[in-house]
Amino acid sequence: MMVDVPDHTASAERVTPSTLMQRIITVLSVGLVIGAVTAVAAIAFVEAVLWLNDLLLVSSYAKVQSGLSPMALLLLTLMVPMVGGALVSFIVFRLAPIQRPAGPADAIHAVQLQKPMPDTGSGIIVTLGALGSLGVGASVGQYGPMVFLGAVIGGMVEKLRLDVPNVNAIAIACGVAASISAAFNAPIAGLIFAHEAILRHYSMQAFAPVTIASTVGFVVANVLFERVPVFVVQTGVSLKAPEFVVFAFMGLLCGAVSIIYMRSLLAGARIGRLIKLPPEARGAVAGLLVGLCALWLPEITGLGQYTLRFATIEGALTASEMTMILVGKIMLTSICLGLGFVGGVFSPALIVGAMLGGLVWTGLTTLGIEGLAAFPVYVICAMMAVTSPVIGAPLTAILIVFELTRSYELSIASMVVVVFSNVVAFRFFGRSLFDMQLLLRGYDLSQGRAEAQLSELPVRDYAADHAPIFEVGSGQAVVRAELDDHGWNEGYAVDAEGFFQGYLRIIDLDADSHEPVAEIIRPAQLVFDADTSVRDAMRMLEDFVGDAIPIVERDSQRLVGVVTEAAIVRAYLDIVAKLRSEENAGL
């Protein structure tokens, strides 16, 4: 029985000049089209949220203009988010095929593990859920849904089956870059975010189309639609050398607050899963809490655009108000996302960071420390320092500051705060909230793309097509003859029903004996479950000596096949070679 191990090694592809040119045009066109479509979709999403806020009397301006009585406004303030929460939960958990919220973590999962994005239907339904959540004033972010929408648009390219290597991952990155560029009027930040958080490598093949997509997103948002920046500050910043020590300590504090924010979000999700209520009921409860908060502290509900703009104005908020907004925003966002609303985590983190920066500046001035930079400097630095660990993109955060303020000094200050914040968060939490969400779903990206992809490959896919498997009643002479003929030193024994019994060695077989092999069976040194991954198999092979390893079903112990050590090593080398080729690919 010749052993035929499947060959998973991709042969080197020879590309003709005409094919190469066609691929270059294709991949650049992908960036152009996805950039334009995503930018328009992202802007439409934001405008739809604002329209719903006015239509449902969520915004303060709409309430003033409505002319309704105070009692009617009170009832609407409570009922709109309650009904909205129930409806959003029904849409996402009942109608969406994936039956769960989705966001940037799904884009990271698709690119890093080379998996498809959630189906288009799920993507549209989840986006509608996020639109409804923001429309009724839930404390969730708009940038996460925009990033997810861009990734869904990019993921549609997979259906075209274009003859371009890595085009699916590149298309998703293009959609993400365009959404960030359109959202913040920051094309460089969009480009870097796609590489820093989604692709996690740089290659010319991806760099060129993602740059085009980000640029197009900026042009569409800033030139065609004239979108206003998220916040505007004076660029005249004067910094003194001793103040950078303050920035460093503020960075440590921002890292700690960022960890509290992320752990609160995860705790909210755990509590939401423990509450044994229908999704609609959980959503209604979350909506009621949103309505109560809108009556008590409206600054912690909704998009928070006005809260962010007031946050950069010295004296607009007192220290007690900033403290209440900081704590309340963390708690309400955790409740909203944990109980059924859908949305992002970026916008709430911006508000939390802004309040923290304002509190730090206020505290320092109260202590009598003079010569500090202006109030907005601390607000913006802390804003980005709290947010960047959440999304796992410190470079992006620094570039957003630079592109929005055009201030070199402010960018330097933010760089110091962001660096120290990310050091703390990375050490005591992890790379990002998205990576932690994927880890809780069973996908560990902490060891890199190769390890993550190897963890998705089951060893059973590399089992030998023909293996030396014998029933325990087979004669020793027959088994030895077959092992001699095909060069195997070991055989693997099963009973009549296929349950694994052990292995046998050729040196123990008597070439003249007709006794059954059952008498010389040995217990296996190592056994793989059918679901054992190639990554885990590599680690388990450290002290293994032998021809192959049996693969059995975990529950029944029925033998599935055997896999050679060489096949496992080949699988590892194939993945590594594929990733190196992708990371060094040119146009």
SS3 annotation, 251-300: HHHHHHHHHHHHHHHHHHHHHHHHCCCCHHHHHHHHHHHHHHHHHHCHHH
- Is residue 306 predicted with pLDDT exceeding 90? no
79: which 2 tokens?
Answer: 């009922």
From residue 354, alpha-carbon distances to 18, 135, 309, 313, 361 in Å are 53, 23, 10, 11, 11
Q: Could you tell me if residue 238 is inside a domain?
A: no
Q: Could you tell me if residue 583 is inside a domain?
A: no
What average pLDDT does range 409-417 have in this prediction?
93
- 370-406 burial by CB neighbour count: b if 16+ within 10 A, else e? eebbbbbbbbbbbbbbbbbbbbbbbbbbbbbbbbbbe
For 135-171, write each residue's pLDDT tens digit. 999 999 999 999 999 999 999 998 888 888 889 999 9
Q: What is the dihedral of CA 174, 179, 180, 182, to 10 degrees?
A: 120
| Domain count within the chain | 3
Q: Between 5 and 211, where is the model more confident?
A: 211
Can you give the pLDDT at residue 72? 93
Q: Say how far apart CA 92 and CA 124 lie, in whole Å.
A: 10
- Is residue 424 predicted with pLDDT exceeding 80? yes
**Residue 189 domain boundaries:** 23-231
For 102-129, write each residue's pLDDT tens digit. 999 999 999 999 899 999 999 999 999 9
Q: Could you tell me if residue 584 is inside a domain?
A: no
Comparing CA positions, the residue from 520, 491, 516, 515 lying closest to residue 503 is 491
Q: Between 194 and 63, where is the model more confident?
A: 194
Q: Between 549 and 10, where is the model more confident?
A: 549
Comparing CA positions, the residue from 42, 53, 37, 85 lying closest to residue 212 is 37
Can you give the pLDDT at residue 516? 86
For 271-284, write each residue's pLDDT tens digit. 999 998 999 999 99
> What pLDDT band is residue 9 in, cutting at 50, 70 and 90?
very low
- Which CATH number is 463's domain given? 3.10.580.10
Can you give the pLDDT at residue 16? 82
> What pLDDT band is residue 503 in, cutting at 50, 70 and 90?
confident
Can you give the pLDDT at residue 10? 42
- Is residue 2 predicted with pLDDT exceeding 60? no
Q: Say how far apart CA 464 and CA 542 lie, in whole Å.
A: 21
- 545-560 burial by CB neighbour count: b if 16+ within 10 A, else e? eebbbbbbbeeeeebb
Q: Say how far apart CA 357 and CA 312 lie, in whole Å.
A: 10
Q: Could you tell me if residue 284 is inside a domain?
A: no
Q: Could you tell me if residue 427 is inside a domain?
A: yes
Can you give the pLDDT at residue 546? 80
Q: Say how far apart CA 199 and CA 112 lie, in whole Å.
A: 7
Residue 140, beta-bridge partner list? none
DSSP letter at 54 equals: H
Q: Are residues 314 and 203 in the same domain?
A: no
Comparing CA positions, the residue from 336, 321, 326, 355 lying closest to residue 260 is 326
Residue 575 host element (H or E): helix 565-583
Residue with token string 């939401």:
272
Can you give the pLDDT at residue 514? 82
Q: Are residues 92 and 225 in the same domain?
A: yes
For 378-400, write each residue's pLDDT tens digit. 999 999 999 999 999 999 999 99
204: which 2 tokens?
Answer: 């010319």
Q: How far is residue 530 CA from its own chain's centroid?
A: 28
- Is residue 238 predicted with pLDDT exceeding 80? no
Q: Say how far apart CA 527 and CA 82 lie, in whole Å.
A: 54
Q: Are residues 417 and 534 in the same domain?
A: no
Can you give the pLDDT at residue 7? 45
Can you give the pLDDT at residue 5? 41
Q: Are residues 133 and 180 in the same domain?
A: yes
Q: Are residues 335 and 410 in the same domain?
A: yes
Is the separation of the CB atoms in 559 and 497 below 8 Å? no
Q: Are residues 36 and 71 in the same domain?
A: yes
Q: Say how far apart CA 477 and CA 516 lie, in whole Å.
A: 9
State the Rg of the chain over Cα: 29
- Is residue 229 predicted with pLDDT exceeding 70? no
Q: Could you tell me if residue 138 is inside a domain?
A: yes
Amino acid making up residue 548: A
Can you give the pLDDT at residue 207? 93
Classify 583 as helix, strand or coil: helix
Q: Are residues 120 and 259 in the same domain?
A: no
Q: Are residues 378 and 252 in the same domain?
A: yes
Comparing CA positions, the residue from 511, 436, 519 lying closest to residue 479 is 511
Is the separation of the CB atoms in 191 and 214 below 8 Å? yes
CB atoms within 10 A of CB 111: 29
Beta strand 490-494 with 500-505 is antiparallel
How many CA atoms lie less than 13 Å away from 522 in the CB half-sphere?
Answer: 14
Can you give the pLDDT at residue 451? 86
- Which span out of 17-26, 109-118, 469-478 was modeled with the highest average pLDDT? 109-118
Classify 457 as helix, strand or coil: coil
Q: Are residues 390 and 472 in the same domain?
A: no
Candidate from 191-200, 248-257, 455-464 with smallest mean pLDDT: 455-464
Can you give the pLDDT at residue 586? 67
Which of 393, 413, 440 marks a domain boundary? 440
Is the separation of the CB atoms in 490 and 471 below 8 Å? no
Comparing CA positions, the residue from 527, 485, 488 lying closest to residue 505 is 488
Q: Are residues 460 and 488 in the same domain?
A: yes
For 431-472, write each residue's pLDDT tens digit. 999 999 999 998 989 888 888 888 888 998 998 877 888 888
Which of 412, 440, 468 marks a domain boundary? 440
Q: Could you tell me if residue 587 is inside a domain?
A: no
Beta strand 500-505 with 559-564 is unpaired
- In the chain, % of residues over pLDDT 70: 95
Classify 314 as helix, strand or coil: coil
- Which CATH number is 189's domain given? 1.10.3080.10
Q: Are residues 160 and 105 in the same domain?
A: yes
What average pLDDT does range 332-342 have in this prediction?
96
193: which 2 tokens?
Answer: 């975010």
Comparing CA positions, the residue from 172, 175, 25, 185 lying closest to residue 109 is 172
Q: Could you tell me if residue 285 is inside a domain?
A: no
Q: Say how far apart CA 92 and CA 83 lie, in whole Å.
A: 14
Can you give the pLDDT at residue 422? 97
Classify 558 as helix, strand or coil: strand
Q: Are residues 103 and 211 in the same domain?
A: yes
